[in-house]
């Protein structure tokens, strides 16, 4: 074999090996939905008996508390879009023992705030029946977290 054929064969072999290795360079991008645990935060004086995000149960949350319990799971798109929203249903009652009796149900369509990383679904219940849905790898107090601070009981809160 002459030197030209040997060099051509080696170059061809190297190119073929490169193509095979690049073609097998990891898995294909997964375009399926991501899965998140649901974590509730209650910044109100009301007890949240239970809450649901798009029919997925999220647990319960005492007044001015949250973050201690994690419930599985909800699916969501890996890439955020401006039309992402979820139906949030929750029931509340007074946290004060002698407060008004009865349970009240609430329901809202809530936009899912912009995200650029996958993570948990943090559900923030705020005064005035406001709700924020934040997908984040972090939680309140985590550097770069875009949501409200963790709930804090008022100094005069007796319970």
124 in any annotated domain: yes
Q: pLDDT: is 158 or 52 the higher one? A: 52
pTM here?
A: 0.77
Provide the pLDDT confidence category of residue 15 given band limits of 50, 70 and 90: very low
Q: What is the CATH number of the domain that holds 69?
A: 2.60.40
Q: Taking all residues of the chain, what is their mean pLDDT, rounded to a whole number?
A: 82
Per-residue pLDDT reduced to its tens digit, 52-83: 999 999 989 999 998 777 778 889 999 999 99
Per-residue pLDDT, 99: 66
Domain total of the chain: 1
Domain limits for position 79: 34-136
| DSSP string covering the chain | --HHHHHHHHHHHHHHHHHHHHHTSSPPPP-SPEEEEEEEEE-SSEEEEEEEETTEEEEEE-TTEESS--EEEEEE-SS--TT-EEEEEEEEEESSTTS--S-EEEEEEEEBPP-SS--EEEEEEEGGGEEEEEEESS-TTSTT--SPPPP---TT---
């Amino acid at each position: 074999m002459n030197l030209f054929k040997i060099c051509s064969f080696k170059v061809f072999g190297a190119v073929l090996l490169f193509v095979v290795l690049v073609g097998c360079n990891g898995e294909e991008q997964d375009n399926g939905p991501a899965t998140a645990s649901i974590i509730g935060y209650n910044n109100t004086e009301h007890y949240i008996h239970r809450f649901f995000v798009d029919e997925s149960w999220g647990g319960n949350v005492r007044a001015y508390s949250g973050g201690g319990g994690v419930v599985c799971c909800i699916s969501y798109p890996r890439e955020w879009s401006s039309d992402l929203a979820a139906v949030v249903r929750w029931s509340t009652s007074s946290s004060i023992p002698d407060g008004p009796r009865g349970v009240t149900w609430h329901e809202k369509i809530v936009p899912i705030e912009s995200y650029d990383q996958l993570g948990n679904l943090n559900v923030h219940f705020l005064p005035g029946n406001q709700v924020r849905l934040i997908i984040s790898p972090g939680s309140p107090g985590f550097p770069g977290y875009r949501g409200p601070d963790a709930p804090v009981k008022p100094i005069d809160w007796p319970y």
